[in-house]
Amino acid sequence: MDFEDQKPAEPLVVYRPEKKYKGWKIFWAIITVLSILCNIVLFLMLISVAFFAFLGPARRDFFIEEVVREGPPEQKIVVVNLQGIIEGRTYTDIYRQLRVAGADEKIKGVIVRVNSPGGMASASDRIYNEIGRFKEETGKPVVAFMQNIAASGGYYASAACDKIVAEPTTITGSIGVIMTYFVFQELFEGTLGIEPVVVKSGLRKDWPTMFESPSKEQLKYLDEKLIAPVYERFVNVVADSRAELSLDDVKRLADGSIYSAQEAYDEKLIDEIGYLDKAIEQVLSLAGIRDAEVVEYRRPFSLAYFLEARAEGIMKIDRSTLHKLGTPEVMYLWSIH
């Protein structure tokens, strides 16, 4: 064989496919990393929710302090919020906050920030009593700071404080009592054809009743037994707490009228017109200190507390609800019908 006649073998060429979709690999890697991080965050959040969910029922007096104004942390003023319609739950919340403030030696005074048209007479009275007891047991000053609306029960509770400061646009006053209930007579008898039967031991046993419109005698009875005593209580509370006002002065003002901040100041229902800084100055002066850190109590998220609030907000039509709708409720409330 003539090796010279043979052609040299062609070199072996290896073709490598061009790498494609390299950008997609980077994209999916980023997504994977983010997914892992999100799962870690979610896991930590679930642990926190579970912790506070169990903490809620066990420690209902647990609050977080949020700084409102900087100052020396060894001396604090706490802002307690009284907001919305005053009811039993409102009193409980105020009670717990005052108990925490009373046990904290760093707290030198309290500002009760009021934004409420009032509410249940009994709950308003309990808040008034709780503020008075707090002052007596701790010796710490309490100043009411009114914002927006502080009427009727909102003013009633404020009267327990050492001083009252109101913003210039505040509506207050409405010193008086209101009672409402529903009459289902026409609905039951006229629409549904239901005739209620009431068996009672005495003429006044079911006064007032949801089954018939009240007579003049019934209205007079309700005024004597419910409205008048609760009204007198309100008037005496204001007269006792406002040294500048006599009982006759309060009765003149206690016709249910609302007052602007300026009118309330002129009538000596409040002590000053101003903003939060003015309320802070009042507390510092009463506490005998020059400066303090101002904090506000915030309730941490609690699953139990959230579910409890949701359950209370659900309207259930049952015998208890009908009884509540038909039972008169004595209110210290600025009500617009």
Residue numbers annotated as active site: 152, 205
How many angstroms separate the CA atoms of 161 and 2, rounded? 122
Tokens of 112: 């009760």
In angstroms, the first-to-last Cα distance of the chain is 121
How many angstroms separate the CA atoms of 295 and 79, rounded? 6
How many angstroms separate the CA atoms of 141 and 162, rounded? 7
How many angstroms separate the CA atoms of 173 and 156, rounded? 9
Measured in residues, the chain has a length of 337
Per DSSP, the residues of 280-293 read HHHHHHHHT-S--E
Query: Rounded to 10 degrees, what is the CA torsion of 315, 320, 322, 323?
Result: -140
Cβ neighbourhood burial of 300 (10 Å; 0-12, 13-18, 19+): middle
**Residue 151 and residue 173 in contact, taking contact as beta carbons nearer than 8 Å:** yes
How many angstroms separate the CA atoms of 253 and 166, rounded? 18
Tokens of 243: 């040294």
What contacts 265, CB < 8 A, 6 or more positions away?
166, 271, 272, 273
How many angstroms separate the CA atoms of 132 and 130, rounded? 5
Radius of gyration for the alpha carbons in the chain, expressed in angstroms and rounded: 33
DSSP three-state, residue 35: helix
